[in-house]
Amino acid sequence: MGLRHRASSLLLLSLALGLAVALVSVSAQQKFGINYGQIANDLPDPTRVAGLLQSMNVNKVKLYDADPRVLTAFANTGVEFIIAVGNENLQTMAASPAAARQWVATHVQPYIPATRVTCVTVGNEVFSSNDNVMMSSLLPAMKAVYAALGDLGLGSQVTVSSAHSVNVLATSFPPSSGAFREDLAEYIQPILDFHGQTGSPFLINAYPFFAYKANPGSVSLPYVLFEPNPGVRDPNTNLSYDNMLYAQIDAVYAAMKAMGHTDVGVRISETGWPSKGDEDETGATVQNAAAYNGNLMQRIAMNQGTPLKPNVPIDVYVFALFNEDMKPGPTSERNYGLFYPNGSPVYAINAGSGSGSGSGGSLNPYYTSMFSSSSKLAITFPTGVVVLLAALFL
């Protein structure tokens, strides 16, 4: 492709994305975040992903690393980032403050303020492993990263946390009886102390899908999909729950309270529903994925809180932006994405109006098709405006 042709293509792409962002900006900013995983060999360039998320009005992204290509691509977009220190680095950072400082100097400092890095997660689901060394290294590594951020003048801008599986709970129902596993108490108690001292949130990865898949005969599908159902009542608080995710969140609050902490917030760092699965993965369908994510996003748009914390809007990062074809495990692991790698939606969902009232129309950003096989950029907006511009991709 000649330089003139390439330049023309890039100009068309820039104009298309600019117009998309300008037109969709009449809708409220989306209040949910998105997990941007990259365990795939066919994902679009981060610059195109930046345009896609801007067209959707999504401004919170969580990474599983600190990919410099992504952080550079999102410079000056206003998108807020959670970046990550991998599990493989925990032992080194726990033992060497210099290593933590070098990581921050390399992966955080150069990108601020152009890219809004607001949180570093140190490790992911560390307590799901049987690695005692890794578990013992988690909090020292968190403290080392926190100290490094402070030393480099970034402590007031960037918090430090770690994402945990909801399976750190020994008991989750009724929510008021939520309790952490006894074998993890020695690790979680000081981590909660750290969060209380630094004002950072406790992050939980929660998937009601797994509960339904394990017991489809006893777990109500409407209950896990946020659809109309009789709900369940907590006998200790008399609070009624119409969905499993809210019950899980409040169980975490109860577990933290049992450890003496009512000063730490809970953020859902991952939740989602697969659109496809193996034969034994009951419930992994397009219809259920669209229902789960769509209903959840509508509740987020309404600033809804849980029964225990009705005035604290739920803070959720949906998993995931793209299907990732290289993830190991069952078929479902490769099919959590809202989008295919070519930018077309896996399904269309109603993300809510973002008005707080649930009225006045709805925003359907998932009608966006960014990279079609015909090399065209087609975006359908909730107002019915359709933009169709040629965009010849490199």
Q: How many CB atoms lie within 10 A of CB 14?
A: 12
The angle, 0 to 180 degrees and rounded to 10, between the axes of the packed helices 132-151 and 185-198 is 10
* Residue among 125, 182, 279, 324 flagged as catalytic: 125
Cβ neighbours for 43, distance < 8 A, ≥ 6 positions apart:
49, 322, 324, 341
Known catalytic membership, residue 270 = yes
Q: Are 265 and 312 in contact (CB under 8 A)?
A: yes
Q: Cα-atom radius of gyration of the chain, to the nearest Å? A: 21
164 three-state secondary structure: strand
First to last CA, the chain: 8
Q: How far is CA 77 from CA 114, 201, 276, 297, 308, in A?
A: 8, 24, 33, 22, 35
Q: Specify the amino acid at residue 186.
A: E
Nearby residues of 217 by Cβ (< 8 Å), 6 or more positions away? none
256: left (phi over 0), alpha (psi -120 to 50) or beta: alpha
SS3 track for 248-287: HHHHHHHHHHHCCCCCCCEEEEEECCCCCCCCCCCCCCHH
Of the listed 80, 88, 227, 270, which one is catalytic? 270
Q: Which two tokens stand for residue 113?
A: 């303020």
* Contact predicate 276/331, CB 8 Å: yes
Residues 266 and 274: their CA atoms lie apart, in Å, by 24
Residue type (1 letter), 132: N
Q: Catalytic positions, please?
A: 125, 270
